[in-house]
Amino acid sequence: MNLAAKDIRHNLARFALTTFGIGLLLMIVMGMAGIYRGLVAEAVLLVDKIGADLWLVQGSTRGPFAEISRVPANLEDRARAVPGVASARRFVSHTVQRERHGRPLRIVVQGLAWPEDQGNWVPLVAGRPLRQAHYEMIADRTLGLALGEKVQLGKDVYQVVGLTKGMLGSGGDGLAFFTVSDALAIQFDVPGEATRLERQARHARGEAQDLGRVQPLLLERSLGPATTLPAFTPPQVSAVMVTLQPGADAAKVAATFATWYDVTVYSTQQQIELLLSGMVDKSRRQIGLFSVLLMIISTIIIALIIYTLTLDKIHDIALLKLIGARNSVIVGLILHEALLIGALAYGLAWWLGQFAFPKFPRLVLIETPDLIALAGIVLGISILASLLGIGKALRIEPNKVLS
């Protein structure tokens, strides 16, 4: 190591630049692993926080996190009648994009089954849960909304009564919690002209049918809101979340729901697996490919630098051989330099990441097992990169010192 330290002092600038460059590459590798961890954490965050035992979704679909799912809102009443069910809540979730202060504002609208669910489970950092059925919202801090601020969504204005932190959707957008009725109003909001045209078209269809002629009152109602028409069903929701009673057999309850042909039942773990095997899987493979490429590039760069440093020391190595130095001394010189580059670059990558990663637009979650695995990989590529220089050094003849 002493010989390596002395050689490094003679080539300090080249060694420092190499270490800095490799450190940046390793920081990107470290960040990519953290981005993948963050993708997984954001994807399963809502499923974990809600705490449902079973999910009832539209039949033959994979649920609201994988594709569009529509079930009637009264499905929760049917679910409560099943033995072993403690509670059932409607689930509504969709994304809207509005403009705020000249910049796009993307909000994941999450419906809470008021009044059973007032958002008490949401980790608040300021404010309070929902206390009324309409026009209140809990917003994540990443949305940039202030406590007490009023936001217009659709035709209504909602006041921010609570702030939470770290509640993000699978796409990295901040969550905002409303009552289910408000969430549906935001989801199905249409311009006034579109509503007028739909009512006129509805009236025209009624006039063309016998029902409209026989029941003129019903025909007159067709010009009003759709909710006043008995033939129209209540708005549909994305899913129904079921919480089981303590000690209830989840498999038995799920088997009961499985006999309902209009829905498909999933456990919370199955929903998480669907999330990770669908949306997150391609991102995982892409991030893994880039990480492998960066590792290969890092290995090549370290190998070339070590080889260049070895060429600069041809006369010194030849002199060492001439005075009787063993091959192990020469191998140690080159290996120690490669290990120092790898170790210092790894430390630099970790240090820079502490400042850079929190500023990323998506969550970067660095876990200890990933750091340990990356340290082992850096050790391996440092040893591998030194082999090129070692091979060159062992082929140097002692008489080179005379040339």
Does the residue 370 lie in any domain? Answer: yes
* HEC letters along 265-314: EEEHHHHHHHHHHCHHHHHHHHHHHHHHHHHHHHHHHHHHHHHHHHHHCH
User: What pLDDT, on the 0 to 100 scale, is given for residue 190?
Assistant: 66
Alpha-carbon distance of 33 to 387, in angstroms, equals 28
Contact partners, residue 361, CB within 8 Å, separation at least 6: 172
Residue range 330-335: mean pLDDT, rounded: 78
Sign of CA dihedral 11, 12, 17, 23: positive
Q: Measured in whole angstroms, how far is the alpha carbon of residue 338 from the centre of its chain? A: 36
Q: pLDDT tens-digit profile of 87-132?
A: 888 888 888 888 888 788 899 999 888 888 888 888 899 999 999 9
* Rounded (10°) angle between helices 314-322 and 327-356: 140
For 144, phi and psi rounded to 5 degrees?
A: 75, 15
**pLDDT digit string, tens, across residues 260-308:** 888 899 988 888 888 777 767 777 788 878 888 887 887 788 777 777 7
Residue 60 lies in a domain: no
Whole-number pLDDT of residue 139 = 92
351 in any annotated domain: yes
- Whether residue 75 is predicted with pLDDT greater than 60 in this model: the reply is yes
Is a pLDDT exceeding 70 seen at residue 7? Answer: no
Residues 340-370: tens digit of each pLDDT: 888 898 999 999 989 888 888 778 888 888 8
Q: How many residues does the chain have?
A: 403
Map tokens 């979650």 to a residue.
365
Q: Among the residues of 74-147, which ranges form H helices?
A: 75-80
pLDDT at 45 over 70: yes
Q: Residue 17 sits in which domain range?
A: 2-42+280-402
**Per-residue pLDDT reduced to its tens digit, 162-216:** 999 888 877 778 899 999 889 888 887 766 666 567 666 666 666 666 555 556 6
Q: Which residue has the higher pLDDT, 398 or 211?
A: 398
Domain presence at residue 199: no
Q: Is the pLDDT of residue 247 over 70?
A: yes
The reported pLDDT for the residue numbered 160 is: 93
Residue 155: inside a domain: no
Q: Would residue 153 count as lying in a domain? A: no
Question: 214: exposed, middle or buried (C-beta count within 10 Å: 0-12, 13-18, 19+)?
Answer: exposed
The answer to whether residue 24 sits within a structural domain is yes
Res. 231: pLDDT tops 90: no
Q: Quick one: pLDDT at residue 137? A: 93
What is d(CA 231, CA 342) in angstroms, rounded to the nearest whole number? 71
Does any domain span residue 11?
Answer: yes
pLDDT-derived band at 373 (thresholds 50, 70, 90) equals: confident
Position 1 confidence tier, pLDDT thresholds 50, 70, 90? very low
Q: Is the Cβ–Cβ distance between 279 and 362 less than 8 Å?
A: no
Q: How confident is the model at residue 218 (pLDDT cuts 50, 70, 90)?
A: low
Whether the predicted pLDDT of 82 surpasses 60: yes
Domain tally for the chain? 1
Rounded to 10 deg, the angle between the 368-394 and 12-50 helix axes is: 150
What rounded mean pLDDT belongs to the chain? 81
pLDDT at 219: 58
